[in-house]
Amino acid sequence: MNFTNNLLLELEELDDESTAYHTPILAGDVANYLRPAPGMLILDGTLGGGGHSARLLQYGASVLAIDQDPDAIAYAKARLNSHGSRFRPVQANFRQIHEVLDSLNVQKLGGALLDIGVSSRQLENPKRGFAILKDGPLDMRMDPSLPISAADIVNTASLSELTRIFREYGQEPRALHIASRIVALRTRRSIATTFDLVAIVESVVPRHGPRQPATRTFQALRMAVNDELGALQDGLASISTRLARGARFAVITFHSLEDRMVKYFFREHSKEWIDRPEWPAPRLNPHRIFRLLTPHPVEASREEIQNNPRARSAKLRVVERIQEKP
């Protein structure tokens, strides 16, 4: 069976064929909250194309920039090398912040930023396997050295595991139907390319309107391959312990699952009092280490969304460290 037969006729062309990194979102708000200044070391835990790092460097701050994608590291090095030793890029996942800081003999950070998600450069490069509208190997690894690709999951995971991934990470209503079709068709030949998977999903979820039916499935696989929620959970906890008193921690999310995780983590560690029905009175929160600066998430302005549609779903949450130890 030819999974991609006639598929190109059904897909819209990308307007922009470039593979440039996306414009940094909420860059002004991030700078306003983090208050970069000379002598301050700020972590950019998701470097990407270096847009946020560039803004922080402009204010005189030093930036420790982390990204698991070697392509991002190489790109940002070339772009920001004029800042000399104030810009230190390291290939790593932000969940590894303890190892990175210890290797650099850095004890505390003056601020931190995470911009969660996938970059436009990754999405538009067919060789990376993230693209729905361009055919390429079904990969989706942000760090190419990761042992398991999207193709590995699609071709070996059980029906129940595929269903869980599509339902939990992609919030896909037709998760079981898509997983069942994958399991049935992979017995004929392996599912190797992005267009293979797109064709399978479209055979289950007919296209209605501008949204590509495979969007949720691709998102789910990407999150599973890169353990994005696990990395975020680890990163929030680890980075929090390395913030100096008064340091601010900003996180931008684009997906409800990630935003919910950040929201609850910041809330749990910023509430002054906690209460339970069995207690006679509220008690001081022993886990409080933050002051919450954004009771409601900061969202992009109408003007920014017009200039950069990707900003539409962005949510920025910020806290300030109020004590050195939990």
The CATH number assigned to the domain holding 76 equals 3.40.50.150
Measure the CA–CA gap between 149 and 224, rounded to whole angstroms.
9
Domain count, the chain: 2
Is position 22 within any domain?
A: no
Q: Residue 266 is part of which domain span? A: 27-120+229-321
| Measured CA angle at 90 (ends 73, 146), to 5 deg | 75
Among the candidates 186, 210, 226, a domain finishes at 226
- The whole-model pTM stands at 0.89
pLDDT per residue of the chain (326 residues) written in tens, 0 to 9 = 443 333 222 222 222 334 455 689 999 999 999 999 999 999 999 999 899 999 999 999 999 999 999 999 999 999 999 999 999 999 999 999 999 999 999 999 999 999 997 777 777 788 999 989 999 999 999 999 999 999 999 999 999 999 999 999 999 999 999 999 999 999 999 999 999 999 999 999 988 777 899 999 999 999 999 999 999 999 999 999 999 999 999 999 999 999 999 999 999 999 999 988 999 999 999 999 999 999 999 999 999 999 988 899 999 999 999 975 54
Helix 215-225 and helix 194-204: axis angle, to 10°? 130
Closest listed residue to residue 95, CA positions, set 285, 195, 228, 259: 228
Residues 164 and 310 in one domain: no
Residues 173 and 316 in one domain: no
Among the candidates 179, 197, 226, a domain finishes at 226
